[in-house]
Amino acid sequence: MADTLNHNFRWLWHRIVGAVIAGIVFVSIAGVAVAQSTRELVLTVTPSLARSGLLDQLVPKFEKRFRMTVKIIEQADVDGALGLAGSGGTDLLWLSDELRERASMKGGLTIARRDVMFGELVLVGPKSDPAGVKGMTSLVDATRLIAAAEARFVSRGDGSAVHRVERGVWTEAGINLPTSTKEKWYIVQKGGMRKTLETALEKKAYTLSDRATWLGLGKTNDHMVLVNDDPRMIQQFGALLVNPKRQKSVNAAGARAFLNWLTSKKIQKAINDFSISGEYPFTANFGHRKTN
């Protein structure tokens, strides 16, 4: 009888120990899986930012500092970027459409937006300048001259922040844009900033561009910046987190670390120091506005 009890006790003990060990192994494996999942950060940015070269300088520093891989997704429009946030396809957004960014926060999709930097829009046109706008500092006055001369103008036409600035300027100038395809001076591209610029070059037309994309094209023989320094042409960039309460799968800790790092004094200085062809397309401005 005693032998039977001892045997049963040993059997039960082994079962208990085995279960505990299995549990420990399971938890350990799960812990490794979680750790591995947080080793990648998905960052969604605008094409102008992705192609400027700034991320090539900044992201490797973050990866080395935090031992985390950053996957960069380039989205041509804010709808696409917010769609990724809504589906859990990104952890962090770095965009240049403050109106839409703040709307996404109000809707609970994103949180903790911070100003990062600002860039500038420029009116680019042929050196021959048929509308005579060179040197002007009022984009509104320049568009009036372009419309009066019926000089070719290429519009992004995609509802982006740049396009909204352009449309607002036409409205402020009191210009009714042509709707007939027979009036060919106003050309709607709908192909992103770089494609819009390339079309303007091809057609010897004016267009509104962000400075970083313009500089990224390199020197051109026929076109130049004709109008800038209008306050309407400031392009604010902001970074914001996908709300982890809405998307449980996001790398919330990694995204928060990137946001804090991006707005640190050291990285803000690195943004100011970044140049393209000897020009500085971005000015860091975290904490410089009351909206933060």
For the stretch 237-275, pLDDT in tens is 999 999 999 999 999 999 999 999 999 999 999 999 999
- The pTM of this model reads 0.83
Is the residue at 24 inside a domain? no
- Would residue 66 count as lying in a domain? yes
Please indicate, yes or no, if residue 12 is contained in any of the structural domains: no
Do 148 and 126 lie in one domain? The reply is: yes
pLDDT grade for 76, boundaries at 50, 70 and 90:
confident
Q: For the domain that residue 211 is a member of, what is the CATH number? A: 3.40.190.10
Can you give the pLDDT at residue 180? 61
Same domain, yes or no: 243 and 254: yes
Task: Establish if 7 belongs to a structural domain.
Answer: no
Per-residue pLDDT reduced to its tens digit, 195-242? 999 999 999 999 999 999 999 888 788 999 999 999 999 999 999 999
- Give the number of C-alpha atoms closer than 13 A to the C-alpha of residue 285, restricted to the C-beta side: 16
As a whole number of angstroms, the distance between CA 137 and CA 154 comes to: 20
Range of the domain at 247: 39-119+234-284
Half-sphere exposure of 248 (CA within 13 A, CB side): 1
Four-residue CA torsion sign, 95, 96, 98, 104: negative
Domain contains 158? yes
CA separation, residue 218 to residues 120, 212, 256, 277 (Å):
17, 10, 35, 8
Residues 113 and 138 in one domain: no
- Is the confidence at residue 17, as pLDDT, over 50? no
pLDDT band at residue 159, thresholds of 50, 70 and 90? confident
CA angle, 60 as apex, 252 and 193 as ends, to 5°? 85
In a domain, 10, yes or no: no
